[in-house]
Structure 1
């Protein structure tokens, strides 16, 4: 634990090594919402809201490499100790790499990926609503394309922050109510996807849809979202993976995952066979997805998957 003041508080967040911090930052940097989030000089920063209080969060690796340093600025800093858990979930600090890597390494292909990228984590999200928006926007769209459109959403429905302590953080993400009501004509998405996005935003705003997961609720949250028009298994599994911290979430129809799996095993000619192949990676399929996506990104030299 470190210092606490009226407008700033810092906490040390432990984890079990190894931890590939650079890949965590790379993942966030490729998908960050400009103005709301930033990755600068080895640190992740963003605006946050908690219990009605606003502020900013900055997270970086300690020089010793054995813990993260989280600093909360603004009125929300009064809740710093309650924020430790959601921040730790966001950066996957509760993971047990030795156990995960041992299980995945029982597969020869994944063993080679794990060996190349020890300490790979599943990046989470501070805001479940933001992650849902990002995921719906990202349906059948490239990572770069989705990031561009989410940036437009912020410009149309977000809140400017003129007094931000960081010049790179000039906006707050739209509230569910604001996103449900704003005119999204010519935003760059098909009309049906706009309808889905605003339907979900309205549901979250009214309380009809809850994105808060507690122990044992993930199955119900999955059913709730899957019942909505425009929400399919890929969307729900990606949300489960990052927002609900399900370590076994598996976005089976993801094209990058399917293509890389087929390259390894040409007999995987349809989705049911891909799903059957991934059964061997339970209960850590979300980590398998991260390893496969990272292997694709390394080859392409840019963000791929998710």
Structure 2
């Protein structure tokens, strides 16, 4: 099945694809010739999606999923994942009051905030990424998917597994993956928290960050990252993120502390998440 997802231009597909490619989990995601493909699971049913640009105002999704009644939910998730409903003109007008943001957005006017297919998956990625590099975190995620993910039969090369379900991860000894025991407990605890509260990662729900901070092993960086990419809180802002601090320091030519970054970000509210994406993207130009 093919589905077109319309959006209001501009859209920086190259930036979105670069973000996804750098974080693609082996066995679950591929990026080939400008097309992003991945396995998906919904209500215990498994399938795949492939997505690419279709002209200047839409993305084309090729969907292989055995339950046609799930299509509306799949489309809604993909619209959030690829940030297709963002009102970029309004966001840009607000952020452009900061000359630095105005300059960076003019260079990349179609930047969106990448979302996530699934809340548990994004939370597990975020916990795995605590205090290690993106490359190291993705390797660990690949191990997790290979050990605990459901096998998938797909004609798409490279897609062999679906991300593990909450019940599997809650019962697993994830320290077997070579993680510190405390990190393994956090991962299993996040999965158990979702079983206890199925709306834990529901986008737009009140009090989402507070619920995340109440979980063992979830600090402000992790909670804010999940809030931005899964809860779709456009003011989510992981102020202690090393990438954000380094980006601002490089752009402004001097050292920056996490506290100074947080103070600077006040003018970007309520769209600090978009400002963060602009800063993260700038790293490829200032490194």
| Separation in 2, partners of 1:67, 1:185 | 42
Pair 1:177 & 2:164 matched? no
Q: For residues 137 and 82 of structure 1, what CA distance do their matches in structure 2 show?
A: 27
Alignment pair present for 1:287 and 2:274: yes
Q: Retained in 2: the 8 A contact 1:59–1:69? A: yes
Aligned position for 2:129: 138
CA distance in 1, matches of 2:53, 2:253: 41
User: Aligned runs of 1:77-92 on 2, under 5 Å?
Assistant: 77-92=68-83
Alpha-carbon deviations, 1:137-189, whole Å to 9, x = none?
0011111111011001112111222x212121001111112122223335233
2:63 maps to 1:107? no
> Does 2:13 correspond to 1:24?
no
Partner in structure 2 of residue 226 of structure 1: 213
Q: Provide the TM-score with structure 2 as the length reference.
A: 0.93
8 A contact 2:174–2:187 mirrored in 1: no
Tell me which residue corresponds to 2:40: 48
Q: 2:86 aligns with which of 95, 98, 102?
A: 95
Distance 1:180 1:51, change over 3 A: closer
- Contact 1:104 1:281 survives alignment (8 Å): yes
The corresponding residue for 2:28 is: 36
Which residue matches 1:210? 199
Aligned-pair CA distance for 1:52: 3.5
What is the RMSD computed on CA atoms of the aligned residues? 1.9
TM-score (norm 1): 0.88
Report how many aligned residue pairs link the two structures.
287
CA distance, structure 2, for counterparts of residue 197 and residue 167 of structure 1: 29
User: What does residue range 122-271 of structure 1 map to in structure 2 within 5 Å?
Assistant: 122-161=113-152, 163-204=153-194, 206-208=195-197, 210-215=199-204, 217-218=205-206, 220-264=207-251, 270-271=257-258
Partners of 1:156 and 1:182 within 8 A in 2: no
Where do 5+ consecutive residues of structure 1 fail to align?
1-8, 301-306
Matched, 1:61 2:53: yes
| Corresponding residue of 1:6 | none
Distance (whole Å) between structure 2 residues aligned to residue 194 and residue 291 of structure 1: 32
Q: 1:117 aligns with which of 104, 108, 118?
A: 108
Deviation at 1:264, TM superposition (A): 4.6
Deviations 1:28-51 (A, max 9, x none): 011111111111221111111223
> Distance in 2 between the 1:210 and 1:78 partners?
21
How far off its partner does 1:246 sit?
Answer: 1.1
